[in-house]
Amino acid sequence: MCGIVGYVGSKSVVDILLNGLSKLEYRGYDSAGVAIHSEGEIKVYKEEGKLQNLRDLLQKHKSEIVATTAGIGHIRWATHGAPNTVNAHPHSCNCGKLVLVHNGIVENYKELREELSAHGCIFKTETDTETVAHLIAHEYGKVNDLPKAVRAAAKKLKGAYALCVMHKDDPNMIVGTRKNAPLIVALGQGENYLASDSPAIIEYTKRVIYLDDDQFAVLTPTSVLITDINGTQVSKKEEILPWEPVAMSKMGYKHFMLKEIHEQPDVIRNVLSGKLPDINKPIVLDEVKLTKDEIKNLKRIEIIACGTSLHAAMVAKYIIEAFTNIPVDVEASSEYIYRKTVTDLNTLVIGISQSGETSDTITAIRQAKAVGSHVLIITNRPDSIMAREAHSLIPVNAGIEVSVAATKSFNGQLIALYLFALYIAEIKESYDCAKIKELKHEMLLLPQKIEAVLSHKEDIMKCARAFSSNKNFIYIARGINYPTALEGALKLKEISYINATGYPAGELKHGPIAMLDETMPVLAILMPGSIVYEKVLSNAEEAKARNARMIALTSADDEHLKDVFEYILKVPQTDELLSPVIASVPLQLLAYYIAEFLGKDVDQPRNLAKSVTVE
């Protein structure tokens, strides 16, 4: 969370910082600020709220920001201290000569704050970041050299940080460093950049250097020096970003979320392209770097992820176990990292992440790598930290996902996971060939079936309107659609702030049924295929008997459903094992329309950020 941009060069610093920050808004949006070297002074402007507030502020002060040489900018997702203007970055030392922006959490900030207070530093904010500004300024006082001061201060910091620092006496210099938080150096002609992520700079240059932990970058308009923490120069490879700048346009849709929901048929086609060339031929997955023997010898698979990616992982457990007989454990990364795990050499560890930079998942895969496990990453960002640390990498190919609520990346992840499960099944010969062929055939039909859902949204809109004033919601399902129920509930919570919970339908009578009455809608996912359909239907009848208002999401042509359900959201039929792909789409739309009726900020819901780079 939090986005950083730094620039040194002769273009308009304000324009570059604002433009860069606008591309990083997915990382946080509770306040924003910039510090600019102008006429030998450092001028700081910051504002609470969305980036537009900072834009307006800078517009008012336009005439005083001239002859700029360098600048740093920040967009915040608050960790320490309320999201207000005082706590917004940049932060500075007491004399105001040293300014910095920070992404991450400094864990030992309280101890440092005490020490620095004893040296006379006066703290104006509640942030951990301000401590770092005082600390670097304190070190600067001893060495009178910005890069040296940053390195000396870094030796005293614990936690996670990406930092971008400027000093009044160095108008043509910015210094950056990182530890467990992303920061890239981007190289221009007579100008250079630092940024949390490539969208901030890609329209200026595609030449980048990926900093590693504990590396330091000293940028002037014409030079970039990378060193280790002792100041020894490190030789780094310049890389070319693997994608083109894309205009982040809503393409006529009211919100990015709606546009991204509609992109799902093409995302699925993209992920399948080249990997499922023909239903009579094996899946092609060159990205998996395990040998056939290694695959045959796999004893266990662990999948680690957070949020929506965790729900994709839960679907994967059903399919991998069904197709390959390999036991699969799924765990939230934040839980995995703080217990003794039995991950070992014979365990394949799969990390799933849209962003590829979720802090807990990065820590988890590093732990798995440390014990010798092969790490396979499924991500939408092939240039991310996770992708770069993976032994094997399956890209999700969903394109940039702007809306904080993950939609198209979920279905991209699912398709990648289906391909992976079938690939393993074909190598192990663990699943019936005719069934594999049928599934492949059905997978190729998924895009057009989703198109059918997207072209008949009236029932979903009607249902959304009917329930938009409800305060609570329950989603139930069994088997492979239990994760779909969780995902549907998560979508509704995060963008409408309605308390929505997903349950395995059979669990309802073990407690949650106590909550049911005419104020509690229950949405049941009923996908024909196995006995689970009948079971969910019985559980739905139990809920109806308690006066709950019932909604069905189904592909069944079952007349009996009309007796139980007030609303029936129909989707095209597919194999039950593939049904989460189709079932997730009406649930995304239902959440979208409810949030939209309630007038919520759909793409940037309160308190959230798209990339969660803190623990």
Tell me if 504 sits within 8 A of 482, measured CB to CB.
Answer: yes
Residues 6+ apart with CB under 8 A from 271: 396, 397, 398, 412, 415, 416, 419
Q: In what order do the strands lie in the sheet with 300-305?
A: 328-332, 300-305, 347-353, 374-379, 392-395
270 sits near ligand AGP (criterion: CB under 6 A): no
How far is it, in rounded angstroms, from Cα 169 to Cα 69?
A: 12
> Residue 362 CB, nearest distance to ligand AGP (Å)?
9
Residue of minimal Cβ distance to ligand AGP: 307
Nearer to ligand AGP, 215 or 361 (CB): 361
- Binding residue for ligand AGP, selected from 353, 397, 496, 613, defined by CB under 6 A: 353
**Residue (of 402, 246, 388, 420) closest to 317 by Cα position:** 420
Q: Is 340 annotated in the active site?
A: no
Contact map string, positions 165 to 194, toward ligand AGP, x by CB under 6 A: ------------------------------
Q: Of 7-15, 307-315, 441-449, 579-587, which part binds ligand AGP (CB under 6 A)?
A: 307-315
DSSP characters over 352-416: EESSS--HHHHHHHHHHHHTT-EEEEEES-TTSHHHHH-SEEEE-------SSS--HHHHHHHHH
List the structure tokens of 374. Answer: 């092969």
- List the catalytic residue out of 46, 259, 275, 610: 610
Q: Beta strand pairing status for 174-179 and 159-167?
A: antiparallel
Q: Of 125-133, 195-203, 354-362, 438-446, which part binds ligand AGP (CB under 6 A)?
A: 354-362
List the structure tokens of 62. Answer: 């336009």
> Residue 156 CB, nearest distance to ligand AGP (Å)?
30
DSSP characters over 478-528: -GGGHHHHHHHHHHHHHHH--EEEEEEGGGGGGTGGGG-STT-EEEEEE-T
- Binding residue for ligand AGP, selected from 31, 334, 361, 574, defined by CB under 6 A: 361
Nearer to ligand AGP, 24 or 306 (CB): 306
Nearer to ligand AGP, 29 or 323 (CB): 29
List the structure tokens of 357. Answer: 């930079």
Query: Which residues are bridge partners to 224 per DSSP?
Result: 219
- Binding residue for ligand AGP, selected from 48, 170, 494, 576, defined by CB under 6 A: 494
308 sits near ligand AGP (criterion: CB under 6 A): yes
Q: Of 301-309, 439-447, 518-526, 529-537, which part binds ligand AGP (CB under 6 A)?
A: 301-309
Q: How many CA atoms lie within 13 A of 252 on its CB side?
A: 1
Nearer to ligand AGP, 175 or 614 (CB): 614
**Residue (of 411, 550, 531) closest to 478 by Cα position:** 531
393 sits near ligand AGP (criterion: CB under 6 A): no
> Residue 297 CB, nearest distance to ligand AGP (Å)?
29
Q: Is 2 annotated in the active site?
A: yes
List the structure tokens of 505. Answer: 């339908």
358 sits near ligand AGP (criterion: CB under 6 A): yes
For CA atoms 150, 153, 155, 158, give the dihedral sign: negative
539 sits near ligand AGP (criterion: CB under 6 A): no
406 sits near ligand AGP (criterion: CB under 6 A): yes
Determine the length of the chain: 615
595 sits near ligand AGP (criterion: CB under 6 A): no
- List the catalytic residue out of 2, 93, 164, 306: 2
Size of the site for ligand AGP (CB under 6 A): 14
**Residue (of 351, 331, 307) closest to 490 by Cα position:** 307
Nearer to ligand AGP, 406 or 508 (CB): 406
Q: Of 239-247, 262-270, 350-358, 392-400, which part binds ligand AGP (CB under 6 A)?
A: 350-358
- Binding residue for ligand AGP, selected from 309, 324, 411, 579, defined by CB under 6 A: 309
404 sits near ligand AGP (criterion: CB under 6 A): yes
149 sits near ligand AGP (criterion: CB under 6 A): no
Give residues in contact with ligand AGP (CB under 6 A).
Answer: 306-309, 353-355, 358, 361, 404-406, 494, 612
The catalytic residue positions are 2, 610
